[in-house]
A and B are shown apart, each in its own frame.
Chain A
């Protein structure tokens, strides 16, 4: 008889928690859906970063993408709100409690079609949150109609061709004032995790457009959001390294000085952006927009971190809010004294 096998202790993070604790309910999305891969990246990013889930809110609108917060971070409060209006709900929640970390998950219909108005004002306000667009260029939950990010010339199963130009959410976000803007691909595990972790360490709106093919309605020949198309046309801008603030920084030995840009994020973490092409400055807005336009015109799907601004104050800072969450302030700080009311009554009498 062999000795009883001691069960292997699961790997834990800084909070002594196994990755299992960061999972959610079983996904009900289609097998092979890019959104499930993104959920996996969210789980591993939040676990590896040792985030206290109870201080996270996971927010969404309506659609396939917006269902996904039920499939990760079970110990975080979640809010599956109304179509296209997750930005306002998240803004409100953060007004009530500015100490929360907000993660918003949305789709291309939820953001670029019905939600474009709220998207615009969220970026403009620089509300501190991670905003992930799970972008498949179509409406999955209503069976495949085009969204506003569908590429011109892409074809529905029924043969209908999209004749309208797509909205580029990254260019728009940079123009409007978002302070961390990137694009990735649901199938690029390494890059996507680095981009998400960088977003988590950023203070301000971190907007990530993740191309996430819809296996059921938009993964056919002719679709510019199919796995095949993306794999053939993706063009990474940099190799992205992310060093959490609790790790030591060590530059890749092969990287030559000047090739690697180091960006220090608000919590002390570092982004290491190893340029693949020309020297690219992620703090240059105009250049970022120029590069996005150029690559789109050339038919390339550019991925990477296009823009980072660590200087601009976020929306909550501008409001000069009390340090403690407004939601739980004691009554004595919420009700002015009788003398204050008497003063007003005197003015009005």
Chain B
């Protein structure tokens, strides 16, 4: 942002010419468990309701209460809502981190803080707004033990005054947030008003930040990726969900249960779904596989450590050819790693999960809308290909709130794959479970319970013939494992193709996947405006890597592959599927600090590599 002249408290408001409208980042620093999440969502929602492009990112500890937590809200009138590293306004509510929060600001930024912390003594190049939160909260919240929660809403009111957020929208957001608790809504609305009224009487605006109503959010919703995926499952016929709690995926399974209880009961009140919390990930994938084997649209949800535990079963699913969908909401590994930080570290471990020669289709949504649609695609693919299919979100996508176009009700019929009925068996006189009848590597199956004497077959993870009988013969083994490779080539043509945006004359290509998208599209803008570097963009949406990606690489002089992991895993998968490319041509931009990727990191790294 542009810097402003530092002004001591009480100086006249800055010149309106310096105003920065709908283009800044706010960071709220609080203590985990202090009710700040409600206050932050109200702030986010009120900006959204004013039609301004906005995003909210929760940087939280692996803890329930007591540790520092930060919430970043970014507004951007041009629609760039990826993370921005620079903070323009901090709300310092946490005494533990307040000094550091202020010292980390760029010169010219602003700080709203709890007056008793005396932060204004720390530096002279930051605009300070001390607020007496304790004095303000007492009159609006007569119950002392609730004050810790309600005082956070006061900063919403203060910011509404400072930034020009319409109080009517704050009110709407408060009553939406506390829709089921009218008393709490009233108290919080009173607190927001108290904050606003106090600021209006006592604060002289000195920073340049301001919001202005826009019309960018018509027809949009705000949703977390996990909820979007959950809706995608419920509206695409998921019938068995078996899961084990793990951050950042738990809310996906829980939200499925919530929506399924609303929308997936028969008229007699009985459920057309089962959601079972298993005793561990070994059991959750085991149940999901058993259900897929018996014909359900089944799934599990997990994160990296769960994938590690599930590996043996995933290999069985691949080899015995059982449909199942695994949602992995990636967090930072290895090991327990950073449980509440984002990463794209599970690309390779999912694509190649389990021992022996295994490959699995992986879908990689970048937006809530894709979380919704890819859930449906994943169930179709799993059943059509009879194999485990992964959907890889990450913590940034899964647990943060995003603006999204409204989801469209899916109209395509479910694709249930090659399943033979009793009538089919009667007509055919039987079947061979692992025979490649159609030449696409995908065999036919029957479901347990099919009322025909020729329906049964024996499922096993050991070597088998096309008739599913036990075999240790070399030719049976090789034929079968080669057919599975053929099936994977079928998958390559079926998975979501990449999204390619070519720029005329661009010699440089950028390849990315998942939430790197938001940084990349803004980096393209920065590169063009600041460095006159034109780039084309290919967003990979699935493994196996489609031929279009290889063509994209062919068409550019240099291609930068963006990864949110240390080892360039997206690059590894591309090189594995298309090994012929010159190593000097395929370059890598990697970020693995656990924060959502920001555009500046991509721009700086690319410019540096270009100038070599």
Chain A residues engaging chain B, CB cutoff 8 angstroms: 21, 25, 52-55, 57, 69-70, 74-82, 85, 87-97, 99-100, 117-118, 120-121, 319-323, 325-329, 331, 333-338, 340-342, 344-345, 348-349
Rounded to whole Å, the gap between the CB of A344 and the closest CB of chain B is: 6
Residues 8-20 of B, flagged 1 when their CB comes within 8 A of A and 0 if not, give 0000000000000
Collect the chain A residues with CB atoms within 8 Å of residue B273's CB: 326
Contacts of B237 in A (CB 8 A): 331, 334-335
In the complex, which of the residues A76, A89, A120 contacts B287, with contact meaning CB atoms closer than 8 Å? Answer: A89
Contact A93 B286, beta carbon cutoff 8 Å: no
With beta carbons under 8 angstroms apart, the residue of A80, A333, A335 that contacts B236 is A335
Number of interface residues of B (CB under 8 A): 72
The verdict on A96 contacting B282 (CB below 8 Å), with A54-B450, A322-B272 known, is no
How far does the alpha carbon of A99 sit from the alpha carbon of B458 in the complex, in Å?
Answer: 19
Q: Are A74 and B283 in contact (CB under 8 A)?
A: no
Beyond A97-B447, A322-B271, is A327–B296 a contact (Cβ under 8 Å)? yes
Given contacts A82-B312, A326-B273, A349-B220, contact A76 B456 (CB under 8 A): yes
Let me know if B452 is at the binding interface, CB within 8 A: yes
- Residue from B294, B407, B470 whose CB has the most chain A CB atoms within 10 Å: B294
Of the stretches B182-190, B258-266, B500-508, the one at the interface is: B258-266
Asked whether B410 is an interface residue with its Cβ less than 8 Å from the other chain, the reply is yes
A90's partner among B222, B231, B235, B290 (CB-CB below 8 A) is B290
Please tell me if the beta carbons of A78 and B458 are within 8 angstroms of each other in the complex: yes
- Determine whether the beta carbon of A93 is less than 8 Å from that of B263: no
Q: Which residue in A75, A118, A321, A340 is a CB contact (below 8 Å) of B263?
A: A340
* Docked-complex contact B287 and A88, CB < 8 angstroms: yes
Give 16 A-B pairs besides A88-B278, A319-B274, A341-B235 with Cβ atoms closer than 8 angstroms: A76-B448, A77-B455, A78-B460, A79-B458, A80-B458, A88-B287, A91-B283, A91-B287, A91-B290, A99-B449, A100-B448, A327-B291, A335-B414, A336-B234, A337-B409, A349-B406
Known contacts A97-B295, A328-B295, A341-B407; A92 and B263 CB within 8 A of each other: no
B99 within 8 A of A: no
Q: Which residues of the other chain, A, contact B222 by a CB distance below 8 angstroms?
A: 348-349
Shortest CB-to-CB span from A10 to chain B, Å, is 17
A328 nearest CB across to chain B (Å)? 6
Residues of B within 8 A of A69 (CB): 458
Q: Which residues of B contact A94 (CB under 8 A)?
A: 290, 294
Q: How far is the CB of A219 from chain B (nearest CB, A)?
A: 26
Q: List 25 A-B contacts (CB under 8 A).
A: A54-B452, A70-B458, A76-B448, A77-B455, A81-B286, A81-B289, A82-B286, A82-B313, A88-B287, A89-B286, A89-B290, A92-B287, A92-B289, A95-B296, A97-B294, A97-B448, A117-B283, A322-B272, A325-B295, A327-B449, A329-B239, A340-B263, A341-B409, A344-B231, A349-B219
Q: How far is the CA of A340 from the CA of B152 in the complex (A)?
A: 34
Which residue on A lies nearest to B313, using beta carbons? A82
Which residues of B lie under 8 Å from residue A117 when comparing CB positions?
279-280, 282-283
- Measured between beta carbons, the chain B residues less than 8 angstroms from A326 are 239-240, 272-274, 291, 296
Interface status of B298 (Cβ within 8 A of chain A): yes
B485 part of interface (Cβ distance < 8 Å): no
Contact, CB under 8 Å: A329 / B272: yes
Chain A: minimal CB distance from B23 (Å): 24
A residues near B439, Cβ cutoff 8 Å: none
Instruction: Give the residues from 288 to 305 in chain B that come closer than 8 angstroms, CB to CB, to chain A.
Output: 288-298
User: Smallest CB–CB gap between A315 and chain B, Å?
Assistant: 9
State whether A57 and B448 are in contact (beta carbons under 8 Å apart), knowing that A95-B296, A96-B240, A329-B239 are contacts in the complex. yes
Contact of B356 with A by CB under 8 A: no
Closest-CB distance, B330 to chain A (whole angstroms): 24
Q: How far is the CA of A118 from the CA of B451 in the complex (A)?
A: 30
Query: Is B286 a contact of A96 with CB atoms below 8 Å?
Result: no
| Chain B residue with the shortest CB-CB distance to A21 | B453
